Amino acid sequence: MTKISIIGAGSFFTQHIVVDILNISGLDSGEIALVDVDPERLELARQLVEQVVKMTGKSFRVSASVNRKEVLPGTRFVVNQIEVAGMQTVRNDFEIPLKYGVKQCIGDTLGPGGLFKILRTVPVWLEIVRDIEELCPDAMILNYTNPMSAVTLATVKSSPIPVVGLCHSIQNTSRQLSEYANVPYEELKWRAGGINHMSWFVELTHHGRDLYPALIAQMNDPEFVAKDPVRLDFMKYSGAFVSESSGHFSEYIPYYRKRQELIDKHCGPDYKGETGFYANRWPAMRERSDKAIRAKLSGEEPIALESSHEYAAVIIEAVLSNSPKVIYGNVPNEGLIHNLPAGGIVEVACMVDRNGVHPTRFGSLPEHLAALCRSNMAFFELAVDAVIQRSRDMAFHALLVDPLTSAVCSPEEIKRMFDELYEADRAYIPELS
């Protein structure tokens, strides 16, 4: 019997992942185990998953517990989607940097928000990894938790358990590019590589025709640019489109958020770069998500059974059926991208079969694009090592080299900001020396 455990099951991703799993042809029975530290959200997830199982007619057992040790034994695949103290800290992570002129949109991957999310998340996650090693050592970890690169890197540095970091950036962005270029998605050909949230579509063609000149020609149309303002603007100057939304991407580079006039010029509402978007809207978004689940359970809203574009079920199917599939995964850079640091986490095309995930060699990125990835990878390396070595200096140095923070603040200001954030988040992070 195949057992799949979802850690952080209160996440809104759970429904999509479970529907995808239950849509796997030939996988008619098994167990889906749910874990969450919030009993109320865990119960909502349990009821929803049971309803989806009933609707598909498959013979899956559903179990749930706030104690992961009760459900991990026998697990074949562990899906990680935890959120550690995010609701308690989201205001601190936004408002304290704002006093120093650092204006974040999302703040969950790089920057001050990303750093302190790493300091909160990685210690908790590594405790979970220890339990996986003890209770289901033959499992494969499918990591969805952001910061994706940091959580995956911490896992690789700390455990022999196989892990792959998963995102929907490549799937979603490739579809967006087919719309921007006005070509059928099935006919779009691309080659992408880099790091999570900063993979570059270095080749983009339709029947052998390079699509970039036509995309760049549309930059004279303000309505076109407004669809994806930061990514399209940077494509104009860099020659390649990046894999994450304008709001996310604007935080990973030093160009667009260091002055208010640049934010006004290049950033749009919501995920297009709105300052404070995540901090101001996330609590309401979570509340709406829980309300939507209750509406589905009561029958007020339908439960969709169409498969999503997530990769978790693709991997599970490929491993169980030995039917090779291709995904874009986040894996250690073992000769995959030549001009990115060895051992860091990179995002490349991977083949999956019964033997696991097999990354493919990308080669070299254009050097200017590799340089931007390297700045982010240095941040992740310092932040993860800060947790593993319990080093406050390393954590500060991660913020010191962060692209957005260093574009706005002096070293002295960064140190004061770091110390203030550290005190504000002290209850949620282990002591660093």
Is residue 168 annotated as part of the catalytic site, yes or no? yes
Other beta carbons within 10 angstroms of residue 179's beta carbon come to: 11
* Residue in the block written with tokens 């988040």: 425
Q: Are 200 and 192 in contact (CB under 8 A)?
A: yes
**Residue 213 CB partners (closer than 8 Å, separation 6+):** none
With b meaning 16 or more CB within 10 Å and e meaning fewer, what string describes 66-79? eebeebbeebbbbb
| CA dist list (Å): 73 to 14, 33, 63, 142, 173 | 20, 10, 12, 17, 37
Distance of alpha carbon 201 from the chain centroid: 18
Query: Tokens standing for 359?
Result: 């990354």
Q: For residue 147, is the peptide bond before it cis, meaning its omega torsion is within 30 degrees of 0? A: yes
With b meaning 16 or more CB within 10 Å and e meaning fewer, what string describes 211-229? bbeebeeeeeeeeebebbb
* Residue in the block written with tokens 């489109």: 241
Among 168, 266, 309, 338, the active-site one is 168
* Residue in the block written with tokens 């990179």: 346
How many angstroms separate the CA atoms of 115 and 380, rounded? 8
Other beta carbons within 10 angstroms of residue 4's beta carbon come to: 24
How many angstroms separate the CA atoms of 129 and 163, rounded? 10
Other beta carbons within 10 angstroms of residue 185's beta carbon come to: 11
Q: Are 259 and 407 in contact (CB under 8 A)?
A: no
* Residue in the block written with tokens 């667009």: 256
How many angstroms separate the CA atoms of 156 and 100, rounded? 34
How many angstroms separate the CA atoms of 326 and 72, rounded? 28
* Residue in the block written with tokens 């006919």: 187
Question: Which of 400, 384, 371 is CA-nearest to residue 198?
Answer: 371
Element (H or E) spanning 85, and its range? none
Let me know how long the chain is: 433
Query: Tokens standing for 82?
Result: 């935890």
Query: Tokens standing for 261?
Result: 């006039």
Q: Which residues are catalytic?
A: 168
